[in-house]
Amino acid sequence: MKRFPFALDAEVPLYLAPMAGVSESPFRRLCRRFGADVVVTEFLSAEGIRRENPGTVDKLRFDSDERPIGVQIFGADAVAMGEATALVTDVFGPEFIDINFGCPVKKVVRRNGGSGCLRDLGLVQDVIRRVVQSTHLPVTCKIRSGWNDEMRDPVAIARRCEDAGVRVLTLHPRTRTQMYTGSARWDEIAAVVDALSIPVLGNGDIKTPEDAVRMRRQTGCAGIMIARGSFGQPWIFDQTRDLLEGRPKRPDPGIEERFRVALEHARMAEEYEPDRRGAAIEFRKHLGWYVRGLPGSADLRKRLHAVSSLGHVEGIFEEYLRDGHRLASLEATAVGEEVLEVTSA
């Protein structure tokens, strides 16, 4: 069996993916509570860490209830990557350091960061070796399938990463030029699983717990990394664990429970972020995700997207629940009227 380089209870660990602006400390803690086995920070610039840029260093903060946690770094300068790794190891001591070779954003790839590195596999290996030399912690990495269609070769890239010393590899099977279009090619995850002797995490297009189980079955991946599928539904981890262990999955929470989780998340975000207005504005996206699909959600979202204080959210939810009851009774009357019409026709 391929072994993970840190202690884990789960045989098939479920990871919360690194996500800029989303996988911040409050959300990571929440997902850990809802069954994520491992979490990873959003990608942080090695330059920013090495220069101790306050905005970057601030994002390195995490609580002990987030462990096991990985800190994800990016950069194409092997020396800077090594220095950042040493600082993160000494000062923050996460369970592992993850290198980002997947970010497709222009600002990052222009300097060969993120998936920009995938155009030069020699550079990928230099970066990995330097990072490995700079820490006693396990080093892992996250890749895409290649820079573009012509350079698409996930197995070759993954082999080079393993050869340079990474201990776990995540594949998001799209190319950089695809960004987020098209489907993630799970067959490529299966090919990389077969080719490597380290654990491989599958990532891409898991929207439901059933998708995660299908990915595991189709690819044999050692663990599963969920990104967008966790938006507004952190309970996806517990539900996936249920299915992986052969139990019926626990039901989706009802509206009131959903609101309770959203409010708890909001409180955590508020405590974490000293700028309360900034916290509320940043949090609007989560609110939108929590209410997605609810009856009348367009109007609810509009109101939530206008909040400038998280204190307002509770009132909006309460009002919705009150109106919701009114709506439900209106619906019942409407059904009754329909029945009357049918019987009198």
Ligand X SMILES: Cc1cc2nc3c(=O)[nH]c(=O)nc-3n(C[C@H](O)[C@H](O)[C@H](O)COP(=O)(O)O)c2cc1C
Binding residues for ligand X, rule: CB under 6 A, are 17-22, 42-43, 72, 100, 102-103, 142, 172, 203-206, 226-229
Q: Is the peptide bond before 26 cis (omega within 30 degrees of 0)?
A: no
Q: How far is CA 101 from CA 10, 84, 142, 200, in A?
A: 26, 16, 6, 15
**C-alpha–C-alpha distance, residues 152 and 150, integer Å:** 6
- Whether 103 is catalytic is yes
Q: Residue 280's CB: how many other CB atoms inside 10 A?
A: 21
Question: Can you state the angle between helices 78-87 and 121-133, rounded to 10 degrees?
Answer: 30
Query: In the bound complex, what is the minimum distance in angstroms from residue 105's beta carbon to ligand X?
Result: 9
Token digits of residue 109: 């790839």
Query: In the bound complex, what is the minimum distance in angstroms from residue 263's beta carbon to ligand X?
Result: 22
For residues 43 and 72, the answer to whether their CB atoms sit within 8 Å is yes
Token digits of residue 69: 């946690």
Token digits of residue 17: 């993916």
Amino acid at 341: E
Which is nearer to ligand X, 190 or 206 (by Cβ)? Answer: 206
Query: In the bound complex, what is the minimum distance in angstroms from residue 335's beta carbon to ligand X?
Result: 39
Query: In the bound complex, what is the minimum distance in angstroms from residue 114's beta carbon to ligand X?
Result: 8
Read off the DSSP letter of residue 90: I
Closest CA to 260 of 324, 318, 183: 318
Is residue 172 helix, strand or coil? strand
Query: In the bound complex, what is the minimum distance in angstroms from residue 305's beta carbon to ligand X?
Result: 17
**C-alpha–C-alpha distance, residues 290 and 55, integer Å:** 27
For residues 189 and 200, the answer to whether their CB atoms sit within 8 Å is yes
Query: In the bound complex, what is the minimum distance in angstroms from residue 98's beta carbon to ligand X?
Result: 8
Amino acid at 301: R
Question: How many residues are present in the chain?
Answer: 345
Which is nearer to ligand X, 142 or 241 (by Cβ)? Answer: 142
Catalytic residue among 31, 103, 117, 141: 103
Phi, psi torsion values for 96, nearest 5 degrees: -155, 165
Q: Which residue is nearest to ligand X (CB)?
A: 227
Which is nearer to ligand X, 226 or 259 (by Cβ)? Answer: 226
Q: Residue 65's CB: how many other CB atoms inside 10 A?
A: 11
For residues 139 and 131, the answer to whether their CB atoms sit within 8 Å is yes
Query: In the bound complex, what is the minimum distance in angstroms from residue 104's beta carbon to ligand X?
Result: 9
> Could you give the residue numbers annotated as active site?
103
